[in-house]
Structure 1
């Protein structure tokens, strides 16, 4: 398990997603003396959870962000009446202007960058950005607990320049989507994993379809086989592998979302590194490389009869993509790179739906900052996709309120493009945004990760059994 999940763990550690998975890994972790460590039982403090309500701030010396800090157990549940001494350290140009729910703020011991807080279950922090562009990192540490942290990018938006003068009416998705990202499937099958339902062995895609899933999402990397890529030498999630998976999806009668990472490795809010083949290119050449690559992938998929029904131009791009050129502080350049991808998709398949995917399920202010800036630059797209993992993206109420506001505020439809936990609750929100704007959801990698819909031996389990009712209520 540990060897298999090396890439997965790397991605989650670097992107800061889902402490629950780290808790699962703790079951098989080995301490410094070589002994297996035991997970702490429910109700016992295990980790400090840090949930930011902004991860992009304006470097104007005024912008503020709310950050929740909470003590949780190995199941991710809050632990009450803890009274745990926590050290909060800030790196970068920012300062704490208030700590709520932790006694008298004025009496807290602190320096400019380090605060000592006695946390009774949880507290809230107000963080104020300085005037320096860059990154702010906040860490919360306590003895014997997993450290919580978050990373915030500071920006100065500048004057917006449109990428096109053309008017664009967002394309409406008419079918409701109950989807899943199962990009790990070829890797699992290469290790001999077989899938079954009630003792009957079958293709994983067919089993999922029988339980109500109607859409599959696949990520694609530019050159994952290179030494620093996602899949050195083996090339999982490259174009050739994607072509084979696309054939299986279409043969099953399901629809297909293609997720361009525009990187050789994981692309998410903490890393959006350009492919090795594009390093050193000037910006004009970089845009052409992204456009040509998009056209090539789309054309090859179209030629074999597997044109994607929907495409993500970038993955979790609220901090930008193809760094450093398309970092969030370079909003004009980011908009131009997104537009290059959109043009590449539409050249090959004008009917394909375009999603912009941001990792901001419960962060309404930051969602609006990103989308407003794309609107100012006239970036054409059809669907707003949100990632929602409770640890980093807030409560279910935060998700519900954000989706409702975005549905009312923007002409695009909205959906949950990634989630794992709280399956029924998340889908109840994802399918009910107001104004008939709700598209649906994609669960992230449910074949093998936390709360998977198959057991580790490939047997469909009770998590799988949640989906027929969801499909009956919202899809069929």
Structure 2
């Protein structure tokens, strides 16, 4: 969990989620989807129950919280364990080894899979604090290694004696800065690795089938993860799974600004280190914004599920049941009435791999700003505009690129307006996607990636305020005049800045992939539509998948369609213009429709 101490102060469930999001329906459940972990960290539950906090299902019937979670699709439970915690502090204490064994046994008996999270502290351990247990405070480094081994082995042995075998064991909790400070700080990675390896060895000695997880915060921050796991690898670190926390709320941004960066990092970690990955913590303000948290949870599950080769293991919500009247925690997914918010219905959704971005030839010149082999104010292929001669100084390339040496930067110590752009001519008419990696200080009057002069109205996307490289995109750019201008526009105050790198403009016009030419599906009708959109499949096609996207590329609905007239239920889509992608074996096409 991140920043908690700063905050402290069945069919029917599907039907009840109406109005809180579009449920993604699939025609079949794959074996990998069935083993995908949908988890909840419930460390507070035992003390909530002991202090007469009750839990109710959607119908208002009092039930065991574990049963409500199971009915919401949760199949895994995560429990933190502290060494010698306060036994009187409800919120910041308990979670002792004995209590964890009790709760783990109960969860196991109800059919849940288990993750045990060792903090190696007497209370919260996270990026801002990794305080040694009081009993270990005066120990030498050699004794600390023995402490880690003995404590880990002791808890797992107690679990084993109760018939509990955790599927995953976390060695440390959110440890980009290390653990057991000061000896285990990441500034001394050799010592940190020795401590982590002692935890690993203890897990394997007692519970050899358990997978050892190393867990960092900010799962969207690829640079942090590469730095940490490069160091861990260099120093001989032993682990099985890379764990991540992902809290857009604490990033002060909507999840849509960083979900692509999370997906990129998940894929990169699995590929770079050959390890499985898991989102060990996620959460949002589900009381204030249940729809948004529902959408975020679906997107996160899809991102993890989409990691190639089945290396994405699952997603755990941190303390969904810990509602505020007990904990003061803002990101629980329960109301003070004791009932789950509709955001929890996201775990009833079968995860599906996100549709990969359409690929094609990038038509831009010098998209990574490397062609000059130096920092410059005149990058090859790009044109600048500024509102005054002096303000051209705001536009330049410099070191610090997203994946290579250079990046484009807009910055000046006085207010400025500047644009850096390319006008590409000679383009085949059709549908294009524009995407780029960006950073921004925020605070500008306007800071946008844009596309215009392509035969339609200007399209743009605001850069999120973030120091982490984040990918943004514009999809469905309909070029009708053989050209398109793309660029970065800033209307900024003094010292506002933004960065741009690895810009792509490519055709996403989809044509049939049949071996022989054949008729395509009819245009969706009625168009405009109100509640149902009818699709007709081409002759010979027995089944297809229809996927509906917003014009910004957000997946909204996916459904299998059969021959003859098949209708998509679009009643919950807001009025507007959408794209529907119809795909079957050997055939793919994109059509547009209007929802009234």
Q: Scaled by the length of structure 2, what TM-score is found?
A: 0.49
3-state DSSP of counterpart to 1:330: helix
3-state DSSP of counterpart to 1:325: coil
The 1:362–1:473 alpha-carbon spacing in structure 2 relative to 1, beyond 3 Å, is closer
Matches within 5 A, 1:22-421: 175-197=35-57, 198-225=59-86, 236-392=94-250, 395-421=258-284
The 1:321–1:230 alpha-carbon spacing in structure 2 relative to 1, beyond 3 Å, is farther
Q: Tell me if structure 2 keeps the 8 A contact 1:346–1:352.
A: yes
3-state DSSP of counterpart to 2:127: coil
How far residue 295 of structure 1 moved from its aligned partner, in angstroms, is 0.9
How far residue 199 of structure 1 moved from its aligned partner, in angstroms, is 2.4
Give the distance between the partners of 1:173 and 1:426, measured in 2 at CA.
Answer: 14
RMSD of aligned alpha carbons = 2.6
The 1:9–1:451 alpha-carbon spacing in structure 2 relative to 1, beyond 3 Å, is closer
Give the distance between the partners of 2:175 and 2:41, measured in 1 at CA.
Answer: 17
- Is there any run of 5+ residues in structure 1 with no aligned partner, and where? 1-7, 14-20, 26-171
3-state DSSP of counterpart to 2:187: coil
In structure 2, the residue matched to 1:11 is 4
The 1:462–1:451 alpha-carbon spacing in structure 2 relative to 1, beyond 3 Å, is farther
More moved, 460-469 vs 396-405:
460-469
How far residue 409 of structure 1 moved from its aligned partner, in angstroms, is 1.0
How far residue 434 of structure 1 moved from its aligned partner, in angstroms, is 2.5
The 1:213–1:174 alpha-carbon spacing in structure 2 relative to 1, beyond 3 Å, is closer
How far residue 441 of structure 1 moved from its aligned partner, in angstroms, is 0.6
How far residue 396 of structure 1 moved from its aligned partner, in angstroms, is 1.2
3-state DSSP of counterpart to 1:435: helix
How far residue 287 of structure 1 moved from its aligned partner, in angstroms, is 0.5
Per-residue displacement from partner, 1:266-317 (whole Å, max 9, x unpaired)?
Answer: 0000000110101111111111111111111110111011122210000001
Q: Tell me if structure 1 keeps the 8 A contact 2:131–2:180.
A: yes
The 1:444–1:173 alpha-carbon spacing in structure 2 relative to 1, beyond 3 Å, is same
Q: Which of 449, 452, 456 lines up with 2:336 in the alignment?
A: 456
3-state DSSP of counterpart to 2:198: helix
The answer to which structure, 1 or 2, has the higher relative contact order (CA under 8 A, 6+ apart) is 1
Q: Tell me if structure 2 keeps the 8 A contact 1:230–1:264.
A: no
How far residue 472 of structure 1 moved from its aligned partner, in angstroms, is 9.2
Per-residue displacement from partner, 1:441-471 (whole Å, max 9, x unpaired)?
Answer: 1111111243533321212331222221246
The 1:471–1:403 alpha-carbon spacing in structure 2 relative to 1, beyond 3 Å, is closer
Larger radius of gyration: 2
3-state DSSP of counterpart to 2:201: helix
The size of the alignment, in residue pairs, is 309
How far residue 204 of structure 1 moved from its aligned partner, in angstroms, is 0.7
Give the distance between the partners of 1:356 and 1:338, measured in 2 at CA.
Answer: 8
In structure 2, the residue matched to 1:71 is none
Structure 1 residue 469 corresponds to structure 2 residue 343: no
Q: Which of 439, 455, 466 lines up with 2:313 in the alignment?
A: 439
Give the distance between the partners of 1:424 and 1:242, measured in 2 at CA.
Answer: 29
- Is there any run of 5+ residues in structure 2 with no aligned partner, and where? 10-31, 252-256, 285-295, 324-328, 355-596
Give the distance between the partners of 1:332 and 1:173, measured in 2 at CA.
Answer: 38
The 1:11–1:374 alpha-carbon spacing in structure 2 relative to 1, beyond 3 Å, is same
3-state DSSP of counterpart to 1:262: coil
Give the distance between the partners of 1:174 and 1:346, measured in 2 at CA.
Answer: 26
Give the distance between the partners of 1:372 and 1:346, measured in 2 at CA.
Answer: 23
Q: Tell me if structure 2 keeps the 8 A contact 1:272–1:323.
A: yes
